[in-house]
Amino acid sequence: MKPPPPPPSRPRPLPLAFILLLLLLSTPIATSISLPHPPTPSPTSSPSSPSASTTSTLDPKQVIALESLNIPTSRDPCAQPSFHNATLCDSSKPFRHLISLRLANCSSYLSLSFTALKSLSTLRSLSLLNCPLSPVRLPPELASSLTSFSSVNSLRRISGVWLSQLQNLTSLTVSDVQIKASGPFVILAHMTKLKTLTISNANLTGSLPGHLHSNLTFIDFSKNRLKGNIPPSITMLDSLQLLNLSSNSLAGEIPPSIGDLISLTNLSLASNSFSGSIPDSISALPGLLHMDLSSNQLNGTIPKFISQMKSLRHLNLANNNLRGVLPFNLTFIKRLEVFKVGGNTNLCYNHSAISSKLKLGISPCDKYGMPVTPPAKDSSADDSSDDDYDEGDAEEIRHKKEHHHGPNKFVLGVAIALSSIVFLIIFLILCSKCCR
């Protein structure tokens, strides 16, 4: 007979401590106890992260646009200094936006897409350096937003119409880029806010524009194919500080109204076909620091007022048709950092005022104010002719030459006389032998 099963064991009562613990966990935490806040993302957090700080986060669309341009975005593009100083942002919220972008030394396979440019429509400054990109259609929003545009050895070939879209620019620089346009006016017609203008080495043809807006303070049209005269529109810019028209095909006389450019500090008209004399109105430019009129067809004498221009530091009048006596003394020349007058065949210097040891590339003057001898053919603007003379005026030089020729004639006469005596002696000896 089986023993009866044991009675079921009664559960042991829970310990009092365990019950109190359960009650504590089930009770809401008092409002005076605060949980720690989640850590704030560091400035190096990815700008596309939704938890990034609103004070250092770039618009996610612009982050994608930067990535398409091979600009690293692992570090906040708005943090300064940015990657190669390529980006600058505003302080808007909740997302910051790019206001300046600089692309330099781009890879050959990089391309600007319309979508990327549209995302960057907040840009006010766009600079391209050594970026051989293909031109792309500009979004209207970006074209109207830009106030500064620079393209140096970039964009391969662009049209004047493409540039003319940038109507709100205050600064335009296009250098070492081929521009297809019938003239500067196509580009500049509607740029009413422009202050600084550089279109250099761009194969630009046509003539200088007949109308320019008065805001301009800087004009550089150097190394193009521009023709014609300097129009009154340029000489009416009383705020203009720099005018560089060098290395073009401009002709005619330098207009007397050039003296109306009262703010001008830098004037370069070199390597053109300007003729006539240097206008006296230049004396009205007391702040002029740099004047380069070299490699033209200027004639007449050099005005004396130039030596009274106390601000002048760079003077280049080389390779013209200037004539007469150089109206400068040694004190004026030594004050200059650059001084070139070589290549003017009919120009000479007063040897009593300027030492021949100072290589000028021109000859000293005789007492009539004419060059003693023309300078060597290979004399250049900054190299002196090998035929420069030492101290002594033209009369003394001629006297030395004549004195030099005298001994040669005397020696020749003595030689002839001795030859005659020898011949006579030989003749007499032969005659005496025959008579025997």
pLDDT of 376 reads 53
pLDDT of 3 reads 53
The mean per-residue pLDDT over the stretch 93-119 comes to 87
The mean per-residue pLDDT over the stretch 116-126 comes to 93
| Residue 213 structure tokens | 């807006």
pLDDT of 4 reads 55
Strands in 201-279 per DSSP E: 218-220, 227-228, 242-244, 249-253, 266-268, 273-276
In sequence order, what are the beta bridge partners of 148?
125, 171
| Residue 108 structure tokens | 């050959």
pLDDT of 414 reads 73
Alpha-carbon distances of 427 from 265, 372, 433, rounded to whole Å: 86, 51, 10
| Residue 157 structure tokens | 């070939």
User: In this predicted model, what pLDDT tens digit does every residue of 344-389 receive, in sequence order?
Assistant: 999 999 888 887 778 888 989 888 888 887 655 444 444 333 333 3
C-alpha span between 130 and 296 (Å, rounded) = 33
pLDDT of 379 reads 40
C-alpha span between 207 and 312 (Å, rounded) = 30
Higher pLDDT, 308 or 82: 308
Task: Read off the pLDDT band of 400 (50, 70, 90).
Answer: very low
What is the 3-state secondary structure of 116-153? HHHHCCCCCEEEEECCCCCCCCCCHHHHHHCCEEEEEC
C-alpha span between 210 and 274 (Å, rounded) = 19
pLDDT of 48 reads 37
Task: Using the predicted structure, report yes or no on whether residue 17 has a pLDDT greater than 60.
Answer: no
Higher pLDDT, 44 or 191: 191
Summary mean pLDDT of the chain: 80
Task: Kindly list the domain boundaries of the chain, sorted by start residue.
Answer: 56-125, 156-364
Task: Read off the pLDDT band of 122 (50, 70, 90).
Answer: very high
| In the chain, % of residues over pLDDT 70 | 77
The mean per-residue pLDDT over the stretch 391-410 comes to 46
pLDDT of 373 reads 75
Give me the CATH code for the 156-364 domain, please. Answer: 3.80.10.10
